[in-house]
Amino acid sequence: MKNKTLFKHRRPRPLTFVVMDGIGYRANPEGNAVSQGYTPHLDWLLANCHYTLLKAHGTAVGLPSDSDMGNSEVGHNAIGAGRFFPQGARLVNEAIASGSIFEGKGWRRLIDFCRKHDGSMHFIGLFSDGNVHSHLDHLKAMLKHLALHDKVLRARIHILLDGRDVGETSALDYVIPFESFLKEINRQAGVDYRIASGGGRMKVTMDRYEADWNIVALGWKTHVAAEGRTFGSAQEAIETYRKEKPGIIDQDLPPFVVADGSGPVGPVKDGDSVVFFNYRGDRAIEISRAFEEPDFDKFPRIPYPNAAYAGMMEYDTEAHIPKNYLVEPPVIGNTMGEFLCKAGMRQMAISETQKFGHVTYFWNGNRSGLLDPNLEEYVEVPSDRVPFEERPWMKAAEITDRVVEAIGSGKFDMIRLNYANGDMVGHTGVFQAARIAVETVDLCLGRLMKATQKAGGIMVVTADHGNAEEMYELDKKTGKPKYNEEGKPKAKTAHTLNPVWFIVYDPSGECASLRFNPEIKEPKLTNIAATCFQLLDLEPPELYDPPLLMANG
């Protein structure tokens, strides 16, 4: 099918591509901050425009199974690259199953280093089975191998508590069995493996896109210097903090250091080796830089031990961060951005800090930086540094100001933007705030629609995965909400398995003569890139999954 048939009378410009991060579709209104929101613009679009639903989770986006919820990394990778790639979660599973991870030079280097110096091996990472940034099974497999095959005597584990990709107060469901696992391994192999420090993932270590280096600095103090409030165990720390601050959720728990009679059990020292066991890059890059960069200046590293470091993967394949890693990342080339640059398309990418890398780094296949400075402009609107349930509007209005101006300027062929609200506020588990987040996005859509109409452009509204449309934990069997001890629905902070909308808004009405290709039985995020080429009136690259649209008759 030739695209020329899509637009008989004009070449619409610009194509404004809106990612409503974390706003999925779910029919049931219970706990649904999207359907319960006041969203006149979204309602209008759904009533008057062509739209379809796209699969945004599981195998369709390169995750191990269809029980894996979608996430922004794989979602933006899939949108930006027009086809799926086996993602970190799958690649690490395979490397562990085949044993190749333990034969690779990344792992061998760490083992040799700490053996030579009689040091300890440290593991830092997100401690859950959320399978978005990491998986507990990977950590356990590495510890087993370390104890039974490499026979390294001391390991220390620094646990970043999740509550964001898994149940919001589920930390002990992981910590307690893990302590038994360590006990068993210690007994069986005669080793000394212990949890040494930790804290909520939003408080220590896992900052992203340089939104707040203080978070990483606090992580350094906690894991490396072993400075901070001490407890006899991770369990004691979690229980104490929960008692002191009722209602606190795991991702926000303060840092803790585990100590015994002789002091903290696991500062990182000269001669030690460190693995950061997250495979996803956005929240792993800053701590990797702190460990690896000789002239790092974001915070004083006190102390800065002579330790060998490796990340689970190469997180940035352009800037080569980190230098040492355990598993090769997916090689995501021939992205939409690359092809559009080759075709001379002028592009703008914009979001606020929290999602800036999503529309640049993830979109471009985990590469930071401009592809072509002559054709592209990347704009970051600084995010607030506050709990987002307190400011659910976030920076959506400021982003919209810039995009409205860009649409009217005639300077761009395609403008892509990400509204963080549905996702970032969805992750807080606060229903009212999530509803306001969705309404904020809707208000902004109205402004974009007007600007698009005025400029003679066209607009796509979609999302990378769901979140805000399912704010309660649901019973898998009945589909009804679970309730807490107070009889209130249990808040859900994680992403979902729900599909997302793909809406084409063409104010000229010309798209009335288009339709979705009925031969594409299960449309997915990977069909988007080729569809953007159609909407830009360009031939989609052959290697992409097929475009969604076709001319009517």
By CB atoms closer than 10 A (0-12, 13-18, 19+), residue 59 is: middle
With CB cut-offs between 5 and 8 Å by kind, which of Co ion, ligand 3PG, none does residue 164 bind? ligand 3PG
Show the site string, 372-411: x = touches Co ion by CB under 5 A, - = not: ----------------------------------------
Binding piece for ligand 3PG, criterion CB under 6 A, among 68-76, 87-95, 290-298, 451-459: 68-76
Give the helix, strand, coil percentages of the chain, each rounded to 5.
35, 20, 45
Report the nearest approach of ligand 3PG to the CB of residue 531 (Å).
22
> Do you know the residue count of the chain?
553
Give 504's strand partners. 50, 460
Residue 395 interacts with which of ligand 3PG, Co ion, none, CB < 5 to 8 Å by class: none
Residue 150 annotated in ligand binding: no
Say which amino acid occupies 517: N
389 vs 506, which CB is nearer to ligand 3PG? Answer: 389
Q: Any known ligand binding at 164? A: yes
Task: Select from ligand 3PG, Co ion, none the partner in contact with residue 223, using the beta carbon and a kind-dependent cut-off of 5 to 8 Å.
Answer: none
| 423 touches Co ion (CB under 5 A) | yes
Q: How far is the C-alpha of 401 from the C-alpha of 448, rounded, in Å?
A: 9
Q: Which two tokens stand for residue 265?
A: 């059990």
Which of residues 83 and 427 has its CB atom nearest to ligand 3PG in the complex? Answer: 427
Contact of 501 with 429, CB cutoff 8 Å:
no
User: Is 180 noted as a catalytic residue in this protein?
Assistant: no
Could you say which residues in the range 465-504 bind ligand 3PG, by CB under 6 A? Answer: none
Pairing of strands 514-516, 347-352: unpaired
Instruction: State yes or no: 385 annotated in a binding site.
Output: no
- The answer to whether the annotation marks 427 as part of a ligand binding site is yes
Q: Which residues between 140 and 199 bind ligand 3PG (CB under 6 A)? A: 164-165
Catalytic residue among 35, 65, 72, 368: 72
- Shortest separation between residue 73's beta carbon and ligand 3PG, angstroms: 6
C-alpha span between 77 and 75 (Å, rounded): 5
Least Å from the CB of residue 87 to ligand 3PG: 12
Q: How far apart are CA 442 and CA 308, in angstroms?
A: 48
Shortest CA distance to 287 belongs to which of 201, 216, 202, 368? 216
Q: Report the DSSP beta bridge partners of residue 549.
A: 516
Q: Tell me the C-alpha distance between 213 and 336, whole Å.
A: 31
Q: Is 133 annotated as a binding residue?
A: yes
Q: Binding to Co ion by residue 68, rule CB under 5 A?
A: no
The dihedrals phi and psi of 105, each to the nearest 5 degrees, come to -70, -25
Tokens standing for residue 124? 């830092």
Task: Report the residue from 72, 335, 421, 452 that binds ligand 3PG according to the rule CB under 6 A.
Answer: 72
Catalog residues that contact Co ion under the rule CB under 5 A.
423
User: Active-site residues: which are they?
Assistant: 72
Q: Which residues are annotated as a binding site for substrate?
A: 133, 164-165, 201, 208, 280-283, 355
Would you list which residues are annotated within the binding site? 21, 72, 133, 164-165, 201, 208, 280-283, 355, 423, 427, 464-465, 495
